[in-house]
Amino acid sequence: MAVLDVAVVKKDFPILDQQVHGRRLVFLDSAASAQKPQVVLDAMRHYYETTHANVHRGVYGLAEEATALYEGAREKVGRFIGARSSREVLFSKNATESINLVAHAWGRANLRAGDAVLLSEIEHHANLVPWLILKDALGLELRYLPLGDDGQLDLTHLDELLAGVKLVGVTALSNVLGTIPPVRRIADAAHAAGAVVVVDGSQYVPHVATDVEALGADFLAFTGHKMVGPTGIGVLWGREELLDAMPPFLGGGDMIRDVRLDGFVVNDLPWKFEAGTPPIAEAVGLGAAVDYLEGLGLEAVREHEIALTGYALRTLDARLGDDITIYGPSDPASRGGVLSFSYKDIHPHDISQVLDSQGVCVRAGHHCAKPLMRRLGVGATARASFYLYNDETDVDALADALSAASDLFG
């Protein structure tokens, strides 16, 4: 298996070649948004400089070339996640929009008052609020898989919780705890109970080799900007038979085959769900991001992150001891490279500001997971998240910066 050469990888990301407050930039906020390699920037610029035209509409050469690039990106994404057909790959604005599409197109067509939806206590707001909206609109019952003290989901009562459930929504990797739930086990149990499974893969797909069939998902949502691609583009993969049966989410151009004053006929998949001018340049950039990640190898990325997360857990424990509390599973192999932590009694926002003065970028806040924060008994945490361009020197810089925060606040 290929080994990730981080020193080489770092050179691919021009933004990392700079100083912040007189110190080298140490970017540890990839769980929020990953940095972009030069090949992605080049692909988008080249598209705008040489190929830009609207897709699916023009029959002149430039428009046909733009359409080929756009649909070629869809093919790449489908291959990247093991889709049976590119017809199952829809482009959206982001993962949040993808999940909302499922909630409002599939959910409103298939859920009725009294139906139950099962989520988990570790969901991002993107896989929680859409179902809360439907709960109020349709009179649904929401249930939750609880978080265990070990940072894993407690599946002890899974079968009981699934009784009568029509849909299960679960993250494949927690953006707060790094927890990697057993999605296939949950999906198999859900299908046995007659439920459809929606997986939030925003934190998973950029870091772990993904096969939608192996996951057992019916829908998988993820976003471009967390996988070294551009902002403004997300993906929804769905089983073709489910997408075919769903009504459109948005109405307008390109999602129709015919329009009359008294009605319309929807387009074929996947364009049925892509109303209006799509994010063409962003799709080109996402396709380049897929090429880049495939060139590195997701297995190598995952192995690197396991090793780096283990080093971080050992280093922070050795240097900061009981002063730091790291939330989530203790085994690096059973979690992603996301470390949410509390340090002494220093507010996470203060930690983030002091670390910024040392050139270290971490997130502070509730990470769009307020129910999980309440479950942990905190208002907020600081969060360091690692990716393919981070190495042990970045972990050491994090530890040094935390020591500086301790010196400042006493």
Same domain, 290 and 301: no
- Identify the CATH number of the domain in which residue 353 sits: 3.90.1150.10
Residues 6+ apart with CB under 8 A from 212: 81, 82, 83, 220, 237
Asked whether residue 108 is domain-assigned, the answer is yes
Same domain, 154 and 237: yes
Q: Please give the model's pTM, rounded to 2 decimal places.
A: 0.97
- Mean pLDDT value of segment 209-231: 98
Same domain, 262 and 145: yes
Same domain, 237 and 210: yes
SS3 4: coil
Asked which of 265, 295, 325 is the last residue of a domain, the reply is: 295
- Identify the CATH number of the domain in which residue 78 sits: 3.40.640.10
Same domain, 148 and 74: yes
3 state SS for 31-57? CCCCCCCHHHHHHHHHHHHHCCCCCCC
pLDDT at 409: 84
Digit-coded pLDDT (tens) for 315-353: 999 999 999 999 999 999 999 999 999 999 999 999 999
Same domain, 94 and 50: yes
Asked whether residue 138 is domain-assigned, the answer is yes
Asked whether residue 260 is domain-assigned, the answer is yes
Q: Which member of 368, 378, 404, 409 is catalytic?
A: 368
Residue 262 tokens read as 């008294």
Asked whether residue 163 is domain-assigned, the answer is yes
Residues of the domain holding 85: 41-295
Report which DSSP code applies to 268: P
Asked which of 263, 295, 327 is the last residue of a domain, the reply is: 295
Asked whether residue 77 is domain-assigned, the answer is yes
Half-sphere exposure of 153 (CA within 13 A, CB side): 24
Residue 368 bears catalytic tag: yes
Digit-coded pLDDT (tens) for 226-254: 999 999 999 999 999 999 999 999 999 99
Same domain, 174 and 284: yes
SS3 200: strand
**Positive/negative CA dihedral, 152, 331, 364, 317:** positive
